[in-house]
Amino acid sequence: MPTRADDVPEPSQTEPEWFREPTPREHWIAAWLFVGFGVFFVLLFFVTYGFWFRWVTLALGGYSVVHGFNHARDARRARRL
């Protein structure tokens, strides 16, 4: 832990890998995770028949699947560049 202002690294000395764009592989991993969780939430909607919260799980599932497809689109776009 720095104790003085002189010990704090300059912005040019910070590692650029901390704030990089995700690679296409990382986008594909995220896409499959989001779609998988989305399918889980949609299936949970059918399991929790008669419970009011099931509509929230359906919305979460739909949102997760859409977000996963956005990651897949970004992975395809990043691969072409």
pTM: 0.73
Q: Measured between alpha carbons, how far is 49 from 69 in angstroms, rounded to an integer?
A: 27
Ranges of each domain in the chain: 23-80
Question: CA 79 → CA 21, 22, 24, 25, distances in Å?
Answer: 13, 11, 6, 9
Question: pLDDT tens digits for 6-63?
Answer: 666 666 666 666 778 889 999 999 999 999 999 999 999 999 999 999 999 999 999 9
